[in-house]
Amino acid sequence: MNALNIQQGASSHSAYDLRDPNSQVEERHTLAVLVENEPGVLARVIGLFSGRGYNIDSLTVAEVDHTGHQSRITMVTSGTPAVIEQIKAQLGRIVPVHEVHDLTVEGASVERELGLFKVCGQGDKRVEALRIAEIFRANVVDSTLESFVFELVGTPSKLDAFADLMRPLGLKELARTGVAAIARGV
């Protein structure tokens, strides 16, 4: 019948109709979820992911509007297009969730993560660590005669690269905040 020539899987529900909804290719998406800052809201979001078997690659949360009782959760998740759509729909039906934005498809966005790297060593290795830190524009936020703590802000891949270089130079401990992200422009 298909007289209207409706594409299989196209729907007004979907924000982007052109992707193949049945694709089995896993995609990485960064979601910004604005939530009512009330007890248990983070547990609801995390419980949704564990209960329905979705992935969380990283998650950050903090209050962003004190008077409006609003917190922002930035999460990086991965899944097939159908799973990503389902994640967004499921997040949207949590009562204290106000808005769900898929930064990966809603235009250009900026992603940043902060990492603290404890690098221990002496002699050449210590000098080399300091030199590489300068190249990466990392700050030294703590120093002893045997160690540095570097602070580095950047994309997750920049932090990955820095960690890879620091590992042979005595990287002992690493703390990462997870991704915070925001859309470019107004």
Partner 1 sequence: MSRTMTGARMVVEALRDQGVDTVFGYPGGAVLPIYDELFQQNDITHVLVRHEQGAVHMAEGYARSTGKPGVVLVTSGPGATNAVTGLTDALMDSIPIIVLSGQVPTFLIGTDGFQEADTVGITRPCTKHNWLVRDTAKLSETIHKAFHVATSGRPGPVLVDIPKDVQFAEDEYRGLKQIEPARYQPARKGDVTAITQLAELIEKAERPILYTGGGVINSGPGASQLLRELADATNIPVTSTLMGLGAYPASGRNWIGMLGMHGLYEANLAMHDCDLMINIGARFDDRITGRVADFSPGSIKAHIDIDPSSINKVIHVDIAITGDVGHVLEDLLKIWKSRGRKTNSAAIGKWWEKIEGWKSKNCLAYKNSDTIIKPQYALQRLQALTADRDRYVTTEVGQHQMWAAQFLHFNEPNRWMTSGGLGTMGYGLPASVGVQMAHRDSLVINVAGEASWLMNMQEMGTAVQFRLPVKQFILNNERLGMVRQWQQLLHGERYSQSWSDSLPDFVKLAEAFGCKGAQVQDPKDLDDAIRQMIEYDGPFILDVLVEKHENCFPMIPSGKPHNEMLLGDASTEGAIQGAGAALV
CB of residue 105 to partner 1, shortest distance in Å:
16
DSSP H or E segment with residue 153: strand 147-154
Residue 18 interacts with partner 1 (CB under 8 A): yes or no: no
Interface with partner 1, residue 161, by CB under 8 A: no
> Is residue 23 part of the contact set for partner 1 (CB under 8 A)?
no
Report residue 182 as tokens: 């925001």
Query: Interacting stretch for partner 1, rule CB under 8 A, among 24-32, 95-103, 129-137, 178-186?
Result: 95-103
> In this structure, what DSSP letter does residue 183 have?
E
Alpha helices in the chain (DSSP H): 41-52, 81-92, 124-135, 156-166
Calpha distance 154→162 (Å, rounded): 10
Segment interacting with partner 1, rule: CB under 8 A, options 32-40, 102-110, 149-157, 168-176 = 32-40
Tell whether residue 44 is a contact of partner 1 (CB under 8 A): yes
Residue in 55, 58, 90, 109 binding partner 1, rule: CB under 8 A: 90
Q: How far is the CB of 48 from partner 1 (least distance, A)?
A: 8
Q: Kindly give, in sequence order, each residue whose CB lies less than 8 Å from that of residue 150, ignoring residues fewer than 6 positions away.
A: 116, 117, 119, 129, 133, 138, 139, 140, 141, 162, 166
Contact range with partner 1 by CB under 8 A, out of 43-51, 59-67, 141-149, 150-158:
43-51
Q: Report which secondary-structure segment, H or E, holds 186.
A: none
| The residue to which tokens 């700050």 are assigned | 139
Minimum distance of partner 1 from residue 162's CB (angstroms): 38
Per CB under 8 A, residues contacting partner 1 are: 1-4, 6-14, 21-22, 36, 39-40, 43-44, 47, 51, 82, 85-86, 89-90, 92-96, 98
